[in-house]
C-alpha cells in the first residue's frame, strides 16, 4: 500500500536568511556605534566564469545590506597559482580584512588545496583550511564551511530531531558532504555517507530520517528514495537545458517528506547568510575593529539563534 500523503513544508530559505541577516545587521550596527570599523570580507575571483562573477556579486551585495564592507580582487584566467597565492598573502597581512573567500572553481593549474592552505586560518570564512577542517573533525571551535552551517540552521528552525536520527549524506566533498556529516554526528545523529560507489543507494536513502543530497546529479533523489516523514535537503545545483535543477526531484518529494528544500530559495540564501556570520565571527575572534574592549561576542546568542 502506498504511504498516506502527508503535509510537506517546502522550506523558505530566503525568509529564514532574511531573519538571521537582520540580527547580523543589528550586531554590526552595535559594533559601529561603539566606534569600531565594520567587518570586511575580501572576495577573490580568478577568471571570468559568469556564474562565479554573479555569485561573488551576490555575496558582496549581502555584505553591504548588513553593513559590512567588502573588497573584490580579480585575476585573469591565465593567473598562475603563485599569483593567486600572492593576492591571498596580501589579504592575510591586511589588518582591515577579516574574511577571505577565493571563489571556486579555479582555473586549471591552480590547485584549490594549495590556495585553501594559503589563507590565514583566522580569516578562512569558507572553512577550507586544513586547520579549520581539523578543528571540525576534533570538535573544537573554528570556522566551518557555510553550506553545512546553513543546513544545520534549517534543520534547527524546523525542529527536526537529530539525536539518534539516521542521517544519510550523498556526496563527500570537502565543502559540503564531509563537514555536514561531522556536524550531524556532533548533534548525535547516526550518519551514513554515500558516494558514487555506494551499493543500493536508493535503499540506503530510504532508511534516512534526514537526507542531504550534495552530488550535483540532476534530480537523482526521487519519490521512492524518500522515507515518509524524512527531512530532505537539496544542495545540488546543475544546469539542464538552460534551467537550474537540484539533486532532488522536489515535486515528487512533496506529500512524502516532512520538509524539503527547493533548489531555489532553499539552501542557497542560507549559505550566503552563514558567510556573513563567519565573517562577523572571524572579525570578533581576531579582535578586529579598532577598539579593544568593544568587541565581545555577546551578540552571538541572538545572531546564532
> In this complex, which beta carbon is closest to ligand GUN, that of residue 152 or of residue 295?
152
> In this complex, which beta carbon is closest to ligand GUN, that of residue 115 or of residue 257?
115
Task: Name the nearest CA neighbour of 77 among 43, 111, 108, 113.
Answer: 108
Q: What ranges in the chain are assigned the alpha helix state H?
A: 13-33, 50-65, 81-93, 112-118, 130-138, 146-157, 177-186, 201-206, 250-253, 267-285, 300-304
Select the residue interacting with ligand GUN from 146, 180, 215, 280 (CB under 6 A). Answer: 146
Residue 222 catalytic? no
- Give me the least distance between CB of 67 and ligand GUN, in Å please: 22
Residue 108 catalytic? no
Given the C-alpha cell 498516506, which residue does it identify? 4
Per-residue interface string for the shown chain with ligand GUN, residues 70-109, x marking contact by CB under 6 A = -------------------------------xxxx-----
Among 31, 69, 98, 103, the one annotated catalytic = 103
Among 126, 234, 247, 249, the one annotated catalytic = 126
Residue 295 within binding range of ligand GUN, rule CB under 6 A? no
Task: Name the nearest CA neighbour of 187 among 154, 226, 161, 222.
Answer: 161
Residue 59 catalytic? yes
Question: 238-240 and 40-46: which strand pairing?
Answer: unpaired
- Give me the least distance between CB of 51 and ligand GUN, in Å please: 9
Task: Name the nearest CA neighbour of 267 among 228, 227, 213, 226.
Answer: 213
Cα separation, 176 vs 214, whole angstroms:
7
- Please report, to the nearest 10 degrees, the dihedral formed by the alpha carbons of residues 303, 144, 178, 220 taken in order: 50
- Give me the least distance between CB of 276 and ligand GUN, in Å please: 13
- Give me the least distance between CB of 217 and ligand GUN, in Å please: 16
Which 161-220 residues touch ligand GUN, going by CB under 6 A? 175
Instruction: Give the residue numbers marked as catalytic.
Output: 59, 103, 126
Q: Which residues bind ligand GUN (CB under 6 A)?
A: 101-104, 126, 146-147, 175
Amino acid at each position: 500500500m502506498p504511504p498516506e500523503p502527508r503535509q510537506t513544508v517546502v522550506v523558505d530559505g530566503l525568509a529564514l536568511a532574511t531573519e538571521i541577516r537582520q540580527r547580523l545587521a543589528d550586531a554590526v550596527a552595535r559594533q559601529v556605534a561603539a566606534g569600531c570599523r565594520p567587518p570586511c570580507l575580501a572576495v577573490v575571483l580568478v577568471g571570468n566564469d559568469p556564474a562565479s562573477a554573479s555569485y561573488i556579486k551576490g555575496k558582496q551585495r549581502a555584505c553591504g545590506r548588513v553593513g559590512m564592507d567588502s573588497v573584490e580582487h580579480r585575476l585573469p584566467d591565465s593567473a598562475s597559482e603563485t599569483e593567486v597565492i600572492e593576492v591571498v598573502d596580501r589579504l592575510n597581512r591586511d589588518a582591515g580584512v577579516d574574511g577571505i573567500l577565493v571563489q571556486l572553481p579555479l582555473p586549471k593549474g591552480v590547485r584549490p588545496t594549495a590556495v585553501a592552505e594559503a589563507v590565514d586560518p583566522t580569516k578562512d570564512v569558507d572553512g577550507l583550511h586544513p586547520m579549520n577542517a581539523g578543528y571540525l573533525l576534533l570538535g573544537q571551535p573554528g570556522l566551518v564551511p557555510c553550506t553545512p552551517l546553513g543546513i544545520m540552521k534549517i534543520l534547527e528552525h524546523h525542529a527536526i530531531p537529530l539525536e539518534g536520527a539516521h542521517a544519510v549524506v550523498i556526496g563527500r566533498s570537502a565543502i559540503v558532504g564531509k563537514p555536514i556529516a561531522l556536524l550531524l554526528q556532533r548533534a548525535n545523529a547516526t550518519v551514513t555517507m554515500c558516494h558514487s560507489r555506494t551499493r543500493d543507494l536508493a535503499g540506503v536513502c530510504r532508511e534516512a530520517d534526514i537526507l542531504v543530497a550534495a552530488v550535483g546529479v540532476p534530480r537523482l533523489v526521487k519519490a521512492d528514495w524518500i522515507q515518509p516523514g524524512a527531512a530532505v535537503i537539496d544542495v545540488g545545483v546543475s544546469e539542464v537545458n538552460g534551467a537550474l535543477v537540484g539533486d532532488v526531484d522536489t515535486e515528487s518529494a512533496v506529500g512524502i517528506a516532512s520538509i524539503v528544500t527547493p533548489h531555489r530559495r532553499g539552501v542557497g540564501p542560507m549559505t550566503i547568510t552563514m558567510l556573513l556570520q563567519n565573517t562577523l565571527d572571524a572579525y570578533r575572534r581576531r579582535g578586529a575593529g579598532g577598539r579593544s574592549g568593544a568587541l565581545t561576542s555577546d551578540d552571538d546568542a541572538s545572531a546564532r539563534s
